[in-house]
Copies of this chain bind each other. A is one copy, B any other.
Amino acid sequence: MSKSSAAVIERSSARGRGRPRSEQARTAILQSTLDLLKEVGFNELSIESIAARAEVGKATVYRWWPNKAALVIDAFVSVVGEELGFKSKGSVQNALRDQMRRWTVVFRSPLGRIVASVIGAGQSEPEILEAFREHWVEPRRREAREMLKRGIKNGEIKDLDPDTILDILYGPLYFRLLVQNTPLSSDFADVVLSAITPGLFQ
């Protein structure tokens, strides 16, 4: 979390001569963005209101983020913690169940609405989607892929492409997050995993 946005905005960077960037302004902007994102959603979110709430000049926002999309991504990334990693030490199956359940919790929280907003905004702005994949999907997939590969190697699960497996497992959760046809309960995670279990585990 600490230097999360460094991935998007190159700070540090040789320490130039002028007045250094205000960390306070940066934090206030990201926080205001998150707050407003939750309150009004991406479409109604205006740079003007972000700057006003952060008590910051509009130009300071534009100095560091080229557009609303980049700012939203950065705010989003800055808040993405480690709470979604795999914690179970047991079988692959247990680890998956445990983590999928935790995702349903996250998806029901305000962070879930932000994730949905970001994917939604990404449908109009490719770079948002790109950043979403890079900063949200990929970091989680990296870990999951390793675990699945281990499972494949030790014969616990069938030899399928790990990314395909993950699309199948998490796709339904995203579907309910985004389409909201049915509430996203923890049970749903269990059902999805159970349904896939015979086809996945040997």
Contacts and interface: CB of A to CB of B under 8 A. Distances in A.
27 contacts: A41-B125, A42-B124, A43-B124, A43-B125, A117-B123, A119-B120, A119-B123, A120-B124, A121-B123, A123-B178, A133-B180, A137-B179, A160-B195, A164-B182, A164-B191, A168-B172, A168-B195, A171-B173, A174-B174, A174-B178, A178-B178, A194-B199, A195-B199, A196-B196, A196-B199, A197-B199, A198-B199
A51 to B, nearest CB: 13
Nearest to A163: B182
Interface of A: 40-44, 116-117, 119-125, 129, 132-133, 137, 160, 163-165, 167-168, 170-176, 178-182, 188, 191-192, 194-200
A195 B200 contact: yes
Contacts of A176: 167, 171
Dominant SS at the A interface?
Answer: helix
Nearest to A42: B124
A179 B120 contact: no
A75 to B, nearest CB: 16
A42 B179 contact: no
A92 B125 CA distance: 38
A44 B42 CA distance: 13
Given A172-B171, A199-B198, A119 B179 contact: yes
A123 to B, nearest CB: 3
A41 B133 CA distance: 19
Contact of A181 (B43, B163, B165, B178): B163
A164 B178 CA distance: 15
A132 B179 CA distance: 8
